[in-house]
Structure 1
Amino acid sequence: MTTTVETCTIGNYLCNRLHQMGVTHIFGVPGDFSLKFCKLLEGDGRIQFVGTTREDTAGFAADGFARRHQGIGIVLVTHGVGALSTVNPIAGANAESSPVLVISGAPGLRERRENQLIHHNFGQNEAQKRIFENFTCCAVSLNDLSTAFKQIDLVLEKVWNNKKPGYLEIPRDLIEKEMPLHFDYEAFCSFEPSDTETLDEALSETVSLLKSAKTPAILAGVEIHRFGIQEDLLQLVEHSKIPVAATIMGKTVIDECHPSYLGIYQGKVGGEAVRQTIENADVLVTLGVMFTDINLGMFTARLNPNKMIRAHQGEVTIKHHRFPHITLCDFIRGLTRGLQETPSAGSSRKKPSGENGNLSHDKKKLDPLASLTTSGIIDILNTRMTPQISVVCDTGDCLFAAAELKVPDRSSFFASAFYTTMGFAVPAGLGVQCASPNVRLVILVGDGAFQMTGTELSTYKKLGFTPVVIIINNGGYETERVILDGAFNDIENWNYGEVCNLLQYGKGATTECVGDFEEALDRALADKTQMHVIDAVVSESSQGMRRLAEEIGRRI
């Protein structure tokens, strides 16, 4: 009796696995080592290949897709010149725990065995893989047909579970190779369960502390986003009535108009009311917080570890006691149950003076003839924010000013808020828009960052997307000016209002005063049929950026 063995090509297997993980778009630039997989995607039809203007912007787009989709982002490039151009965005994804997979085409196995000098090569066969090993959780080069499927599963599992980038190198002569399917793998889109006894012990101690607390508070961070547990955080806040602040990396982990939301905590760099509540809490629960310099206002934060409960994916620390093998989701859900049984002392606390006071959407009286400022742009946006708007923000003045931007829909603010790479916003917005085509996308980007990656607006045109792009034009690198001034921080001014004419797509405007900006913004938000680019010439940077930059300046 003959047994039929089911087979599959390596390319089709990878495509099937990505589709199972919810991938709908792959970003990249085609090259001869990746062309076969591009062609496979085109013929398969389930996953759209989005060709970008550069490989680094493809990396940012994949990052934006992963953050909005809360799944995995994919960048597809060729060997050497393509893959190495993604080093910066992938290093950033690693720093900010964004699950982006680099798929790099490579010279074929036969070509490598013959030791030919092949274009795009720059070293030994494993040279490129060794580079990516430095900032990925798993780097795999397929060089053994018999283990190819398991190697693909390995890197996908690591990327998804660890929320870190990965690297997969596929020789071009393997894409169409057929191999017997293996059926001994398990579904990998699941986390290791918490150790029950350890979890119960950590919860018992935490609940006891919170029930006796007079002024408890919660500080929520980026892991809430990455592990998709925003709803669990909301349930905890609503049942416990404990006030919650977010780090700048964790911005929009909760609806920023929620009555228990305090604002962004950044030590002395941030708002004083938020700082007082967080730093004076008798029990502070930090959930998924990365204690970076930017999150902590260049380490101006004054957080007492003896009053802290720190929960991360995989571990909870209570004062100086560590509880390993606990998932963040299980810990938050357990807290919600524990605090439901007996109301905490914090549930009847009075709201601190000034808390949530800057969340009003009432229009401030602004002089329409006044010069435009970065803070003024944020004030104007705050009067027009809706749950349908998602904001992608570049680094620099626009990022630190945006700490005061109130976004009413959770998981709707995206920025490189730790790695702080310039040029993130425009291409990352492309990935956000691909993941959620129906959101109204607003991009905040400085003129310096726009000159780096603004060409990606061409891809918006190709896909028919209609974002509102606000270019905060201060004539150079404003953050660096505050840190250390000099002519080296100046850049050539572009006529950004004419960008749409260059692309033959969308409508542009140049504004220098409050009234003109308000009119341009209102036209843009009301018009969903075309892209709008607003050149917002500002006369003054934000206080938040200046405070932070001055702290940095003290260290150089």
Structure 2
Amino acid sequence: MNLVEALLQALEERGAGEIFGIPGDFALPFFRIVEESGRLPLFTLSHEPAVGFAADAAARLRGTLGVAAVTYGAGAFNLVNAVAGAYAEKSPVVVISGAPGTREGRSGLLLHHQGKTLDTQYRVFAEITCAQARLDDAASAPAEIARVLDAAAAQSRPVYLEIPRDMVGVEIGSVPPPRRPPCDAEAVAACADAIMARLASATQPVLMVDVEVRRFGLEARVAELARRLAVPVVTSFMGRGLLAGADAPLAGTYLGVAGDPALADLVEGSDALVLLGVILCDTNFGVSAGRLDLRRTVQALDGQVAMGFHVWPGIPLPELVDALLQRARPLGATRGPAMRPAAPRGLVADEAPIGPMDIARGINDLFDRHGPMPIAADTGDCLFTAMDIEHTDLVAPGYYAGMGFGVPAGIGAQLATGRRTLILVGDGAFQMTGWELGNCRRLGIDPLVIVFNNRSWEMLRAFQPQSRFNDLDDWRFAEAAAALGGSGRRVATRRELAEALEEAAAARGGFRLVEAMIPRGVVSATLERFVEGVQRLQGPR
């Protein structure tokens, strides 16, 4: 096989389902072979950030590699922000970039799309990926492809492959099959024994799950672990959507002072809080009431386990969960699982203006009638509103918090799973990437899109209310939907919202956009509590 065919086979063997990309001259030979081979579907979008977000969402929901393919320089540098977010949130996106041919690089001329040097792009991506390779040698290419792709799978983080355009047709040997790094079985057993002893001595043990549980395909096993231990399990803010539909004692999503006080008491009062694949970030723990001492938790994440002042390095989460399952038994804790609070329902269809909670109620009512949908949410109040929507699959930039994720992530999610996706996006983020909806007709997908239009960067206003620079103009997105190949409706009352949601859910064959007009200054109660918690914990300025 030539280099690209061998790479495509290696990606397929490791679970990649498609390639999202935008061609350019240095990448045209790569794209030609991808198209001719037919091994992986190729979905092209309009701007490289969307390619990265779509590949990220596909990786998150499917629990396998996502693939983003771009050209050198002008294409790849547009991808940097999306890949940085994937790195921060542990999503295994494979970046494939075309590059100048080896003879071009020795010509002595500056090459178009070049930054400071021909290696600048490689060095930039080395900062936001866990493994990199330039495939400029046929002899070493098979091993390099395997090394980089296996690093993405093992670490659940982005990787970078650069292919000079005169290398794509070069014949190479077979890429070694997938392999996971070896682990010390005795160390895993000793670690599992120590965790079980800690749980058995506790009066209020709790499991908290986050992104690595899905990234490594552990949701069913973690649900079984919680059932066998008979202890409550919660998700972090970043882990919202995990265990959706699983038979597990799921108590809800921990949001500290921004969430349910009973759930906060359960987590912060635990004397054996086990963090499974949790990102230790401010959005997960920055609004705790101050009673959560992470040093007293059991932290199983990033390939190691820490408990107190003891650390077990080289403990992969899948092997640890299996070892805990072998040892699990009901713990007889003094406090049983908390009941997950019911999501709010019953949208009042009257002439009152729309607030974020009305959108949550309307979606929950919709799910009751038509069944749940996976959600792709952008950052901002649309994401905090999702905390009041019935627990379902969710992808969102909850930690990195980069704007523009929602629409392309929803496109990637539907293409990767085949399930119609609900997209929640603010008007500011829609201005960035919402126009990718124009690709839906060509791609044969029909997401349901709700734009939270308050004509402002409202989450920023929540932190700094007096600033007028947060005001945005009114772009009237619903009127643009038809030109993009879908249909849209602008709504300003709760009655109109209820009608538009039902119309959009019932219609198929193109994207449906509901532009919900929300008065400036109106935000969800969850965002209000989050902002108050952050400001209180930060102290006076």
Asked if Structure 1 and Structure 2 have the same fold, meaning a TM-score greater than 0.5 normalized by the shorter chain, the answer is yes
Assess if the C-alpha contact under 8 Å between 2:236 and 2:253 holds in 1: yes
1:415 aligns with 2:396: yes
The change in CA–CA distance for 1:533 and 1:196 in structure 2 (over 3 A counts) is same
Question: What residue number does 1:125 align with?
Answer: 118
Residue 386 (structure 2) aligns with: 402
Q: Please state if 1:345 is matched with 2:332.
A: yes
| Rounded Cα–Cα distance in structure 2 between residues aligned with 1:227 and 1:351 | 25
Mark the CA change 1:426 to 1:365 in structure 2 (over 3 Å): closer, same or farther: closer
Residue 233 of structure 1 pairs with residue 238 of structure 2: no
1:47-66 correspondence runs (5 A)? 47-66=40-59
Structure 1 distance, partners of 2:151, 2:306, is: 24
- The separation in 2 between residues aligned to 1:138 and 1:498, in whole angstroms, is 44
Alignment match, 1:220? 209
SS at 1:378 equivalent:
helix
Q: Deviations over 1:221-273 (max 9, x none)?
A: 11111111001111011222211111111112212785621111122122211
Matching of residues 53-92 of structure 1 within 5 Å: 53-92=46-85
* Contact 2:254 2:263 (C-alpha < 8 Å) held by counterparts: yes
Which residue does the alignment assign to 1:469? 449
Q: Matched residue of 1:210: which SS?
A: helix
Residue of structure 1 aligned with 2:262, choices 273, 284, 302: 273
Match of 1:252 among 241, 248, 261: 241
SS in 2 for 1:168: strand
8 Å Cα contact 2:223/2:246 also seen in 1: no
Aligned-pair CA distance for 1:435: 0.8
Task: Work out the CA distance in 1 between the residues paired with 2:362 and 2:526.
Answer: 17
Q: Confirm or deny that 1:515 pairs with 2:495.
A: yes
Question: Cα deviations across residues 257-314 of structure 1 (Å, max 9, x unaligned)?
Answer: 8562111112212221110111111221111111110011445453234642221242
Counterparts in 2 of 1:108-507, with a 5 A limit?
A: 108-179=101-172, 181=173, 186-188=176-178, 190-255=179-244, 260-298=249-287, 300-305=289-294, 307-340=296-329, 343-346=330-333, 349-352=335-338, 355-359=339-343, 363-364=345-346, 366=348, 368-385=350-367, 388-408=372-392, 412-437=393-418, 439-485=419-465, 486-503=467-484, 505-507=485-487
CA contact (8 A) 2:411 2:440 kept: yes
Question: What per-residue deviation string (whole Å, max 9, x for no partner) do you get for residues 53-103 of structure 1?
Answer: 101111111111111221111111111100000010001111001111111
Q: Matched residues in 2 for 1:498 and 1:521: separation?
A: 17
CA contact (8 A) 1:511 1:517 kept: yes
Partner of 1:543: 525
CA contact (8 A) 1:517 1:536 kept: yes
Aligned twin of 1:17: 10
TM-score (norm 2): 0.94
Alpha-carbon separation, structure 2, partners of 1:541 and 1:61: 28
Q: Give the direction of change, closer, same or farther, for the CA distance of 1:108–1:510 in structure 2 (3 Å limit).
A: same
Q: Given residue 283 of structure 1, which amino acid in structure 2 is its aligned partner?
A: A
Give 3-state SS (helix, strand or coil) of 2:455's partner: coil
Distance 2:64 2:99 in 1: 26
1:212 to partner: Cα distance: 3.2
Change (3 A) 1:350 1:109: closer
CA distance in 2, matches of 1:124, 1:336: 52
CA distance in 2, matches of 1:202, 1:167: 33
1-structure distance, mates of 2:336, 2:43: 51
Deviations 1:493-530 (A, max 9, x none): 11122122221x22211111112111111111122333
Q: Is the 8 A contact 2:489 2:513 kept in 1?
A: yes
DSSP 3-state at the match of 1:389? coil
Q: Bigger shift: 512-521 or 539-548? A: 539-548
For residue 377 of structure 2, what is the amino acid of its counterpart?
C
Letter in structure 2 aligned against 1:187: P
Return the letter of the residue paired with 1:395.
T
Match of 1:4 in 2: none
Cα deviation, residue 369, structure 1: 2.2
TM-score normalized by the length of structure 1:
0.91
Quote the Cα distance in structure 1 between the aligned partners of 2:14 and 2:326.
Answer: 31
What do you get for the CA RMSD once the two structures are aligned?
A: 2.0
For residue 23 of structure 1, report the CA deviation from its aligned partner: 2.4
**What is the percentage of aligned positions where both structures have the same residue?**
34
* Contact 1:268 1:297 (8 Å CA) reproduced: no
* Per-residue deviation, 1:318: 2.0
Residue 396 and residue 241 in structure 1: after superposition, are their counterparts in 2 closer, same or farther (change >3 A)? same
SS of alignment partner, residue 475 of structure 1: coil
Structure 1: which amino acid aligns with 2:244? D
Cα distance change on mapping 1:98 and 1:468 into 2, 3 Å: same
Contact kept, 8 Å, 1:268 with 1:300, in 2: the verdict is yes
Distance in 1 between residues matched to 2:231 and 2:447, nearest whole Å = 37
Are the equivalent residues in 2 in contact too, given 1:65–1:435 (CA < 8 A)? yes
Structure 2, unaligned stretches of length 5 or more?
Answer: none
Can you give the 5+ residue segments of structure 1 that lack an aligned partner in the other structure?
1-7
- Runs of 4+ deviating beyond 6 Å: none
Does the CA contact (< 8 Å) of 2:231 and 2:336 recur in 1?
no
Inter-partner Cα distance in structure 2 for 1:317 and 1:372: 46
Assess if the C-alpha contact under 8 Å between 1:389 and 1:442 holds in 2.
Answer: yes
Q: 1:33 is matched with which residue: 14, 22, 26?
A: 26
Q: After the TM superposition, which of the residue ranges 31-40 and 363-372 deviates more from structure 2? A: 363-372
